[in-house]
Each structure stands twice: as C-alpha cells, then as structure tokens.
C-alpha cells in the first residue's frame, strides 16, 4: 500500500531515518509499489510490498549511510 505521508511510514523507518531520508524512502516505495504490480517484473518470489521496501531502502542507501553512532547520515 502506498504511503501518503512520511507519518504513515512504518515505525522501523520513521524511528531511524532523518526527515529527508524518509522522503526518499516514501517516494521510492510508492514508485516501486506501482512499478512492480506485475509479479513477472520482480526478480524473486518476494511480494509486491516486500519488493517496494527493498527498493526504498536501496534508494536511501544511495544518499545516506549508517554511521558508527548507529544513525543515518548524508553521504
């Protein structure tokens, strides 16, 4: 299910990512959720939502990295 706002993201995302990274996550998730509606477009047996979460985390990791302090920081 697509997210309307960052406040709708799972606590596991909101609790660890800074606001800008949450925006990236939300947009990437929503785009992937739409893009991978057809199971034939997915690489593995993951369902649509699981695939969208993987894509969203990858998008965040393009701009952010987890520091030694266990917090996410812009690269």
Domains detected in the chain: 17-69 (1.10.1740.70)
The pTM score is 0.90
* Three-state DSSP class for residue 13: helix
Residue 10 predicted with pLDDT over 80: yes
Backbone phi and psi for residue 72, each to the nearest 5 degrees, phi listed first: -85, 130
Q: To the nearest whole percent, how much of the chain has pLDDT over 70? A: 100
- pLDDT of 37 reads 82
Evaluate whether 3 touches 58 at the Cβ level (below 8 Å).
no
- pLDDT of 40 reads 75
pLDDT digits (tens, 9 = 90+) for 40-67: 777 777 789 899 999 999 999 999 999 9
Q: What share of the chain is helix, strand, coil (3-state, %, to 5)?
A: 55, 10, 35
């Amino acid at each position: 299910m697509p997210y309307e706002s960052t406040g709708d993201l799972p606590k596991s995302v909101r609790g660890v990512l800074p606001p800008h990274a949450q925006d990236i996550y939300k947009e990437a998730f929503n785009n992937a959720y739409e893009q991978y509606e057809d199971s034939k477009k997915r690489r593995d047996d993951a369902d649509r939502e699981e695939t969208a979460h993987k894509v969203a985390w990858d998008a965040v990791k393009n701009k952010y990295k987890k520091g030694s302090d266990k917090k996410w920081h812009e690269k």
